[in-house]
Amino acid sequence: MSISIMKFDLNQRTLSSLCFCLFSCWLLSVPFEGQVLYTLMENSKIHGITHNILAVFANFAGLFTSGFFIKEQIAAKMTMITSTVVCIAGSFIFYLPFSRLWYISIFFVAFFSGLFVASWGFYLKNYSPAGERLRTIADVLICSNVLMIFINVMAVNVSGLAALTLSIGALLSSLLLSFRLEAKTDVRLSKKALEALPDNIPSILNPLLFLCLFILIITINSGLMYQVVNPAFEHLSLLTSYYWAVPYILALLLLRNLPSKINKAYVLYIALTMIGLSFILFMGLNRSVLSYLLINTLMMGAFGVCDLFWWSILGSFFDYWKNPVQIFGIGLSMNVLGILIGGIAGSNIVTFERGYFKASIIALVIIFIIIILLPILNNKLSRLLKNHVFLVEFASMIESERKRIIDDFKVYKQLTERETQIVELLLRGYTYKAVSESLVISENTMKYHVKNIYQKLNINSKMELIKIFAEN
């Protein structure tokens, strides 16, 4: 059988990514700390952050519970469609004069938006190869934030209702695209994913839970940013509406194109340093334009690095868990819960004397805790993902480069055509059983080929195969 069965449906990958981007830009600009809803609330003479706390909590609830009842791709598609319809209907409520109905709408649209985001995990897993999930994630985060900036600028500088209309248009576009998503994935891909699951489930839970703790703690600083740092510069509304997410987008662009050989753990340490430095500057500097540019650039650039880090790590867990919605939903819910905790703490702190100073001290303490936890997290993740560290580099190579290296490898090591096919599949992360099914050969025949490959290469394991390939 041709190795072409491993090719992923780029149309579905692009389609699902566009669907997510359009929905996410509405989420970021309306219910989730969005300038559209803030502007509409202010126009209605409603102050405070009650609506935002409600929205963030409901979004957390949607993300956290999604994996318990969304277990197949067909269910994920229907959930995405249903959630979008609910969010469109709920958004129309904001055209009406303010009433308690607004709060009911905020809760439901935020809850269903959590279901939508988690459901997208099926499409990320099944239509983005493991080595390209980081790029897919970076692309959707960049696209979502670019669109969010455009809507937020309109909300702050033109009209909240006009921005709301534009955001509903994004939802409608997302809905139309979601009908074209596949309801079921390729059975062969499902078999391969199931075969890759380890037998010892607790070994997966331990690093996953630690990652969730890491995400929860570090995103408390995001909540402090929303409720302490951003309000401190609200007098610069024109500048903040345009520039706020720009460093975040630039950081994602940089990481997206970062050479795979660079150790991303070092990049994360740099990001943590940037967050700490931004809060130190926030304590000492005034509230001028220059101060904002410096503080926001450091802070949002660092948050871009952090977001891509744990989104991509959650994507790596997909290959070890049957239901990607559970992984994605619970992992991202910790992100939202951290923002909720930080937001509540920040809104209470700023009412006291020297509130900005106290908030910055809390942020620095969190950074200190994270620096202690990060080596432990790296250790736990590497124990589970150590067989995939190089595979990401291999899968992310452009097709021509990949083919050239495989061909050189075949000639130099004198491998047969079948042996070369097996090597490529093994390097992509297939188990021995999954390889035999993909190539339609018996397990005994598979063992025979593997034995010959190992003898020719003078190795004894798959890890040694990966090491040899890495050195060529």
Query: What is the Cα–Cα distance from 284 to 454, expressed in whole angstroms?
Result: 62
Instruction: Report the pLDDT averaged over residues 276-304.
Output: 92
Residue 280 confidence (pLDDT) above 50: yes
Query: Who has greater pLDDT, 227 or 392?
Result: 227
Which CATH superfamily, name and number, covers 9-392? MFS general substrate transporter like domains (1.20.1250.20)
Mean pLDDT score of the chain: 82
Query: What is the Cα–Cα distance from 148 to 31, expressed in whole angstroms?
Result: 12
> What tens digit of pLDDT does each residue of 291-300 get?
999 999 999 9
Task: Report pLDDT for 355.
Answer: 63
Residue 92 confidence (pLDDT) above 90: yes
* DSSP assigned state of 183: S
> What tens digit of pLDDT does each residue of 195-225 get?
444 444 446 777 888 889 989 999 998 888 8
Across 94-108, 248-262, 335-349, 413-427, the highest mean pLDDT is recorded for 94-108
Out of 122-126, 259-263, 346-350, which region has the weakest mean confidence (pLDDT)? 259-263
Query: What is the Cα–Cα distance from 469 to 447, expressed in whole angstroms?
Result: 20
> What tens digit of pLDDT does each residue of 423-435 get?
877 776 667 777 7
Residue 33 confidence (pLDDT) above 60: yes
Instruction: Report the pLDDT averaged over residues 367-382.
Output: 76
> What tens digit of pLDDT does each residue of 36-53 get?
998 998 888 877 678 888
Tell me the percentage of the chain whose pLDDT exceeds 70.
81
Rounded to 5 degrees, what are φ and ψ at 319? -75, 0
* DSSP assigned state of 180: T
Tell me the domain boundaries of the chain: 9-392, 397-470
Query: What is the Cα–Cα distance from 156 to 163, expressed in whole angstroms?
Result: 9
Task: Report pLDDT for 274.
Answer: 93
Domains 9-392 and 397-470 share a fold: no
The CATH label, of 3.40.50.150, 1.10.645.10, 1.10.10.60, 1.10.10.10, for the domain at 397-470 is 1.10.10.10
> What tens digit of pLDDT does each residue of 332-347 get?
999 999 999 988 888 7
Instruction: Report the pLDDT averaged over residues 454-462.
Output: 79
Query: Who has greater pLDDT, 422 or 59?
Result: 59
Instruction: Report the pLDDT averaged over residues 304-331.
Output: 89
Residue 379 confidence (pLDDT) above 60: yes
Task: Report pLDDT for 413.
Answer: 65
Task: Report pLDDT for 325.
Answer: 94
Query: What is the Cα–Cα distance from 210 to 207, expressed in whole angstroms?
Result: 5
Instruction: Report how far apart, in Å, the C-alpha atoms of 469 and of each of 21, 248, 426, 451 are.
Output: 36, 35, 11, 17
